[in-house]
Amino acid sequence: MQGGQRKTSKYIKPAREEKAFYWVSVAFLFSLFVMPQYFGLPTPVFDFTLLRMMIVALVFMIIYDDKRKSAFADLILHSKLTLVLIPYLIVISYTMVLRADINAFLNPFIEIFSLYLLIYVIRDYVGVERTLKWLLIFIYILAIQGIIEYAIGRSLFSYLETIKGLYTGQFIRSGNYRIMGPCVHSLGYGLLLIAVTPIACLDYQKNEIDLLRRPFLFLLLAANVFLTGSRSTLSVFIIEAALIFLLSSKEKKKKCVLLLSVSVVALGGFLVVGYNTGLAQYILLQFASIIDSVFGTEYSLLFGGNLEALGSSSNYRDQLIYIFTVDWLNPFLGLGRKRTFSSEVNGSYIKSVDNFYIAEYVRYAYPGLVTYAFFLLFYLFNMIKKCMKRKDAVYKILLIGSICYLINLLWVDSLQTLKYLYILIAILLCLERKDKSSEVTPKKASKYIKKASSRWM
């Protein structure tokens, strides 16, 4: 060495770059999971939300490094995911061209590209276990924010609004504020809660499902569900909690029964003592609305419910199925996203399609609905197969979150929440690769192993 200078190791720079990429990946997860779509840089042509900025940052860091670039290209080119999605991508492409609607392609494409990035960063940098830990932190943030939001009557995220036209303002039903978290609608926040609640009930290290694994967090999530004011979200949440309970061990079930009994007694006591308070009336209204919807009763009137509005909402949704019979809709070419559906159906004027699957038919007709349904069913069956074959708790949790989320879509459009479903799918695919790697332990390294391992989905 000359001049007493020490030679810089060739491993120092790569190590720093890898650490930087890890933290950018975490920032990407945070922006995708926590931050609202209305926070970013507005431009005349294309709004750069924080999530889109993080996508651009990740893409630049991937392209900059040959190893990352090769691995990401291999993921896209050689995965079953691509094969499953190609038909849907073709549909949204020709819809964009024939309807002259760039958003008909761009919106779903960005969501799908985010799925690939999720798979890549979880698989190669963050890891499944650390991803689940980060998600739990994010869930705590959202759940606590939801309580604060209800107390002040406004989402804390709304103060970050820099892109106008997305934040819809306060939602009030029967005189009560409905929380919405980082989403653009309280129903969208309900979808988010349904998708992620099972994660709070997973002990990944012990491979166990426990409804009250994190009792404080579960209580916060349950409170958030109530405060969305959504009957569909509350109904699906009850089903989801029941499924998680049934899949718990006998020991965990006994603990759950004991703690839930205490909770029910405490809640009952609060409702009796604070019967005339706004919060108690609001909680009772949610239960009464569900009972009225199922049995045709009128109990919600006792708690300030607007029975006419609830009945109108129910009748409105009943008419949505007849959108498939509207003759002016082209069954092979949807309207895209630029044009909105507005028509009279069976005497009801429909202008908001509160059912994701019917809305997908309106946007992309039968080809779009069928190809996207194929994508969803492919991974649902994959989850079911893994649950039956390996019986790991994490697969069951992913399946419950996915199924309940998709059930909830029967009463609401996706409202920019498909990314939460994609997180579950990304974790599934990364677990599959991990399982395949653990099943084969070759004695001698082969030049073909690396090539074969890339075809992991």
Tokens 């799908």 correspond to 112
pLDDT of residue 453: 40
Four-residue CA torsion sign, 99, 104, 106, 109: negative
Is the pLDDT higher at 355 or at 16? 355
Q: Tell me the CB-side half-sphere exposure of residue 48, using CA atoms within 13 A.
A: 7
28, two tokens: 């990407």
Q: Are 184 and 412 in contact (CB under 8 A)?
A: no
DSSP letter (8 states) at residue 55: H
| Dist. CA 263–CA 452, nearest whole Å | 52
Q: What whole-number percentage of the chain has pLDDT above 90?
A: 65
| Dist. CA 258–CA 424, nearest whole Å | 30
Give the residue from 300, 142, 139 showing the smallest Cα distance to 213.
139
pLDDT of residue 237: 97
Q: For residue 318, what are the contacts with CB-CB under 8 A and spacing of at least 6? A: none
Type and span of the H or E element at 78 = helix 66-78
Q: Are 399 and 383 in contact (CB under 8 A)?
A: yes
- The predicted-structure confidence for 146-200, as pLDDT tens digits, reads as follows 999 999 999 999 999 999 888 888 888 767 889 999 999 999 999 999 999 999 9
Give the residue from 392, 383, 417, 421 showing the smallest Cα distance to 202.
392
Q: Is the pLDDT of residue 440 over 80?
A: no
pLDDT of residue 208: 94
Q: Is the pLDDT of residue 66 over 80?
A: yes
- Which residues pair with residue 350 across a beta bridge? 343
**Using 50, 70 and 90 to split pLDDT, how confident is the model at 143?**
very high
| Dist. CA 227–CA 238, nearest whole Å | 14
| Dist. CA 235–CA 290, nearest whole Å | 7
Q: Cβ–Cβ contacts within 10 Å for residue 144, how many? A: 14
- The predicted-structure confidence for 126-138, as pLDDT tens digits, reads as follows 999 999 999 999 9
Tokens 């291999």 correspond to 74
pLDDT (average), residues 246-265: 88
| Dist. CA 126–CA 451, nearest whole Å | 22
Strands 208-209 and 202-203: antiparallel
| Dist. CA 420–CA 426, nearest whole Å | 10
Phi and psi, residue 171, nearest 5°: -115, 125
Four-residue CA torsion sign, 386, 391, 392, 398: positive
Q: Is the pLDDT of residue 398 over 70?
A: yes
Q: Are 397 and 197 in contact (CB under 8 A)?
A: no
| Dist. CA 439–CA 125, nearest whole Å | 21
pTM exceeds 0.75: yes
CA angle centred on 324, ends 321 and 326, rounded to 5°? 115
CA angle centred on 446, ends 442 and 448, rounded to 5°? 115
Q: Where are the beta strands (DSSP E) in 223-342?
A: none
